[in-house]
Amino acid sequence: MKSKDELLKLYSEDLDLLLKEAKKYTFKEFEFCSLISARTGKCSQDCKYCAQSTRYNTNIKTHPLVSIEEVKKAALESKKNGAINFAIVTSGKTPDEAKDFDKLLEMIKEINKLGLKSCASIGILTKQQAQKLKEAGLVRFHHNINTSKSYHNSICSTHSWQDRINTCKYVKEAGIELCCGVIIGMGETIEQRIEMALELAQIKPDSIPINILTPIKGTPFENYGDKIDEENILRTIAIFKIVNPNSSIRLAGGKKARLSEENIQKLMTCCIDSTITGNYLTTTGFEPSDDIKKVKIANKTLKTI
């Protein structure tokens, strides 16, 4: 494992050489996942980037937990479009807030019956909840660290960085795959981006989704569109792949709004192993057919169930 100083030096190398180095570690099979925002908005937390917090006036459409039938319909559509993982995503600090944990367990069982790998992103867990998710057949749990430990207090005060680490620990102890990543472009320094990569290397997630901040009007970060440029996005993601060679690096939210087609293709070819296809929580993504074309150009094989 390279040191932080070595990685800082590598970060500043010629971009083409950095991408070439990252490409050594990318997987030959490329993976699609998809999601449904199963409960949207009215979140109690104060994450400064998030449109779903009750503390900010972002004018998004909110809704309570959707029906199991709606989840099944969305999952089948995702399967048809090449996704092998399908995630239920809910707003809120924990799954207890809306008292619908048992219904979420039923949704997980239904997703598995469809031949998809079930995934859930439902907030901070207790050890007991992680075990119940395992018993329900959950394959993968998603829970980001969001940023480096040194920058966490600059983006959120209603829960701690350690709360997130504990959830990751409980998930792994329960024998569930872990999807754990970050959001870049929130005002963090280059050094803190490298800290994120190194912190994730300690966690060893199966998948590392990298989101690029899409500034949302009404949030404290609504004017943060200039905190990272495209070149630094590429450099950051290359470093994440080099530091985490055994984890699937997943390009997630913000790719459509923050990256050119050319740079997305560079990432597909040199740095990432997977992507979220279709729409996200409160922002839109590319059509699955567009993502399939990019995978073919990158000379990779789309992973199937």
Per-residue pLDDT tens digits for 115-146:
999 999 999 999 999 999 999 999 999 999 99
So what's the pLDDT on residue 280?
44
Q: Is 35 helix (H, G, I), strand (E, B) or coil?
A: strand
Per-residue pLDDT tens digits for 148-198:
999 999 999 999 999 999 999 999 999 999 999 999 999 999 999 999 999
Residues in a beta bridge with 256 = none
So what's the pLDDT on residue 17?
97
- At 158, which amino acid appears? T
Pick the more confident residue, 277 or 171.
171
So what's the pLDDT on residue 281?
52
So what's the pLDDT on residue 20?
97
Per-residue pLDDT tens digits for 53-79:
999 999 999 999 999 999 999 999 999
Could you give the angle at which helices 288-297 and 261-270 cross, rounded to 10 degrees?
Answer: 60
Length in residues, the chain: 305
So what's the pLDDT on residue 54?
94
Give CA–CA dist 271/184, Å, rounded.
16
Q: What is the pTM of this model?
A: 0.95
**pLDDT higher than threshold 50 for residue 292:** yes
* Pair of tokens at residue 112: 């598995």
Distances in Å between the Cα of 12 and the Cα atoms of 24, 110, 190, 191, 236 are 18, 47, 10, 11, 10
For residue 261, what are the contacts with CB-CB under 8 A and spacing of at least 6? none
Q: Nearest 5°: CA angle at 251, between 245 and 257?
A: 150
Element (H, E) at 302: strand 301-302
Contacts 24+ apart (CB under 8 A), 123-126: 123/90, 123/92, 123/93, 123/94, 123/95, 123/97, 124/93, 124/94, 124/159, 124/163, 124/164, 124/166, 124/167, 125/94, 125/95, 125/167, 125/170, 125/171, 126/170
Give CA–CA dist 219/48, Å, rounded.
6
Distance of CA 15 to the CA centre of its chain: 24
Domains in the chain, please, with CATH? 4-296 (3.20.20.70)
Task: Answer left, alpha or beta for residue 185, where phi above 0 means left and psi between -120 and 50 means alpha.
Answer: left
Distances in Å between the Cα of 199 and the Cα atoms of 95, 177, 182, 205 are 25, 18, 11, 11
User: Phi and psi (nearest 5°) for 144?
Assistant: -75, 150
- At 94, which amino acid appears? T
CA quadruple 60, 250, 244, 175: dihedral, nearest 10: 80
